[in-house]
Amino acid sequence: MQRKSPRKNPKISRRKRRERTIFKFSIILAFIVIIAIVILIILKQPSQTQKSRMDPSEYFMFLDVSAVGYHPQNAPNIIRIRMLHFKIMPICGNANNVVIFMEGMVNPADYYYPQIKNGTEQIVEITFSNELQIRKEEKGYPIKIRIRADEAEGYVTIWLGEEDILLTP
């Protein structure tokens, strides 16, 4: 004779399935929340590749600054510079991937230096496509240069005195 298997109560079976589904959903949700928290913590940490860079006026020394230029007519307090010459020397360690930029310079790609060793002078001669016009201040003629390197980034103001300018007609 065949025995009938006892039937399960459909209400109990449905309740257990619902509880399992809720349990699985809770585990998945908890896992997603933990992953989101870990990602947020990682993003908040400063990356080692994003080191803070020093101010270039502290990282570099500028030597033998001179210029070739002229005074426009009836403007003794203004100078128009055609060429700027200076030596740049890192004083806080080697300077890597150094880029020097000034508005109006000819061939900006010429002013990239892969490495300048600590204490070594690098000669920089910048020629301008249009003259750089500068008004004289108390300390002399201020020239603003943008420098970017792996170790330092920002603007530097170097000063030209009257004696540093070779005047041409």
Mean of pLDDT over the chain: 87
Q: What angle do CA 28, 30, 32 make, to 5 degrees?
A: 70
Residue 116 CB neighbours (<10 A): 19
Q: How far is CA 53 from CA 4, 10, 44, 92, 139, in A?
A: 81, 69, 19, 12, 28
Where residue 46 falls among pLDDT bands split at 50, 70, 90?
low
Antiparallel, parallel or unpaired: β 165-167 and 60-70: parallel
pLDDT at position 11 is: 60
pTM: 0.67
Confidence of residue 113 (pLDDT cuts 50, 70, 90): very high
Q: Indicate whether 47 pLDDT > 70.
A: no
Residue 2, pLDDT above cutoff 90: no
